[in-house]
Structure 1
Amino acid sequence: MTVQQWVDSILRLVGHLVSWPVVTLVIVIIFRRRIISALSALTGRARSASVGPLSVEFDEVAVEALQDTVRQAVQEPGADPTRLADFLGEQISKMTGQSSKRDDESFPGSRILWADDNLRHHLFEVNYLHRLGVDLEKASTTTQALQALDSGRFDLVISDMHRVEDGTEEPRAGLKLLREMRSGRRRTPLIFYTSNAVPFQGDEEISAYGATVTDTTSDLFAEIRRTLRRQPEDA
């Protein structure tokens, strides 16, 4: 079986695993090594794959980030196989949306602060940034994010919108962070990465700060690259 066929099979397998809970454990155990092997082979020239009726060209950095993500996910002790399959399906689908342009681009020395109370859900994105050479610092609350901003220079801040802070649901925690950044005259570029960007598109506070909002991985990476490319010129 070719690499392309393996990726196609993996995508279809992960998509159906949750429907077959009785055999999920067996399938994951049998296939986890083969999944890793197939993804490890998807480098260099073999960066395209058939996904159903479509032919997909993958961003080489995204392929490497997905390899890292799969290895980390399947090696977690006591991982529930059904949830693992669902998680891998989400991570693989993120990779398929990436453009193959500018594979050789990297940003060593760039610093990003990511405020999110559940970054494991974004394991692929985190690994992608690491592959770009980014120094990534994590904060799970607005307070931690502000402390980090006070203690060092960052080229970019990424924030979710909804967080649990001090045991309380904060649906607009991201906006709270933005307001604090504005009041402290911090002008660090800010990207909101949220599950639903629509309610915040055209928000006056976000526009006034010059921040952006997205709910897609491809737009997130594109905005990160645009922002980090501008840093040397602005320094």
Structure 2
Amino acid sequence: MKDLAALISAFASLLWPVILAAVLYVLRPAVLELVSTAKNRKFSIKVGGQELTMDEANEQQQRLIADLQAQVIDLRNRISPELPDTENRSENVRATIAATPGEHEVLWVDDNPKNNSYLIEQLLQGGIKVRTVLSTSDGARMLKDGRYAMIVSDMGRNEVGGFNPHAGLDFLKLVRGADKDVPFVLFTNSRSYQEYRDTALSLGATYITSSTTDLAGIFRNAFGKRF
């Protein structure tokens, strides 16, 4: 009896994969149809009693964020006008961008570009192209493709060989060796801002900030109503 039970158990363990394969084969057309049609489906949510697609909801959210940023920037400028040095830099940036030939394009170097998604989308909606790369070496290759209206870089990032806490400064030196005029913005965390601010400015950074709102203000001052 034990041998028979073992035989039945072994047979059952072999039978389940066969049954599963048979079911998948029978359902294969339906599964393929489900996969192919899923690409064209748009999930929806209800907001304020209205049914919105995720794209529509995301678009409204972006407009709200952009409006809030604009209000904050305007309020801050009224309360605390730019210092003469900063104001001169803003004027120089606008003049440099205006003199940049062709379509305006921003080169953005960051090993985690998802963190910048909303700002990138705002630039794109204003007709400003954005080229994102993940490392200093990739950024160096992009510099050979043409001149950019602005360059943005994070500070510390994963590079070949491991994490480089001052990769942004390394890229800044490389850029300034080739172009002394292109606006260069370092967008970093508060710790790196405190540690590297003076060094970055002495090496030729146009701006360094740890604030998303400040960066949005830099874009607005540089590109005007397009941002």
Q: TM-score, normalised by structure 2?
A: 0.55
Please name the residue that 1:7 is paired with. none
Please name the residue that 2:52 is paired with. 37
Q: Distance in 1 between matches of 2:187 and 2:168?
A: 9
Cα drift, residue 223 of structure 1? 0.7
Once the two structures are superposed, the pairs formed by residues 101-116 of structure 1 within 5 Å of their partners are: 109-116=103-110
State the AA in 2 paired with 1:148.
Answer: M
Q: 1:149 aligns with which of 143, 156, 167?
A: 143
RMSD after superposition: 3.4
Q: Which has the higher helix share?
A: 2
Displaced runs of 4+ in structure 1, greater than 3 A? Answer: 35-42, 63-68, 94-97
Contact 2:148 2:182 in 1 (8 A): yes
Q: 1:200 aligns with which of 190, 196, 199?
A: 196
Contact 1:130 1:136 in 2 (8 A): yes
Cα drift, residue 171 of structure 1? 0.7
Identity among equivalent pairs (%): 24
Please name the residue that 2:212 is paired with. 217
Cα drift, residue 191 of structure 1? 0.7
In terms of Rg, which structure is larger? 2
Q: Distance in 2 between matches of 1:136 and 1:66?
A: 21
Cα drift, residue 227 of structure 1? 2.5
Contact 2:107 2:150 in 1 (8 A): yes
Q: Distance in 2 between matches of 1:111 and 1:65?
A: 25
Q: Distance in 1 between matches of 2:165 and 2:44?
A: 37
Contact 1:189 1:227 in 2 (8 A): no
Once the two structures are superposed, the pairs formed by residues 112-127 of structure 1 within 5 Å of their partners are: 112-127=106-121
Please name the residue that 2:134 is paired with. 140
State the AA in 2 paired with 1:37.
Answer: L
Q: Distance in 2 between matches of 1:199 and 1:135?
A: 31
Q: Distance in 2 between matches of 1:186 and 1:163?
A: 24
Cα drift, residue 95 of structure 1? 5.5
Q: TM-score, normalised by structure 1?
A: 0.54
Q: Distance in 2 between matches of 1:205 and 1:216?
A: 16
Please name the residue that 2:70 is paired with. 99
State the AA in 1 paired with 2:120.
Answer: V
**Equivalent residues, number:** 150
Contact 1:158 1:191 in 2 (8 A): yes
Q: 1:179 aligns with which of 161, 165, 173?
A: 173
Contact 1:191 1:211 in 2 (8 A): yes
Q: Distance in 1 between matches of 2:180 and 2:108?
A: 16
Please name the residue that 1:46 is paired with. none
Contact 2:155 2:188 in 1 (8 A): yes
Q: Distance in 2 between matches of 1:166 and 1:222?
A: 33
Change (3 A) 1:116 1:210: closer
Once the two structures are superposed, the pairs formed by residues 31-110 of structure 1 within 5 Å of their partners are: 33-34=45-46, 37=52, 64=59, 66-67=61-62, 97-100=68-71, 109-110=103-104
Change (3 A) 1:137 1:176: same
- 5+ residue gaps, structure 2, are 1-42, 75-97
Q: Distance in 1 between matches of 2:188 and 2:123?
A: 17
Change (3 A) 1:178 1:228: same
- SS of equivalent residue, structure 2 residue 70: coil
Cα drift, residue 134 of structure 1? 0.7
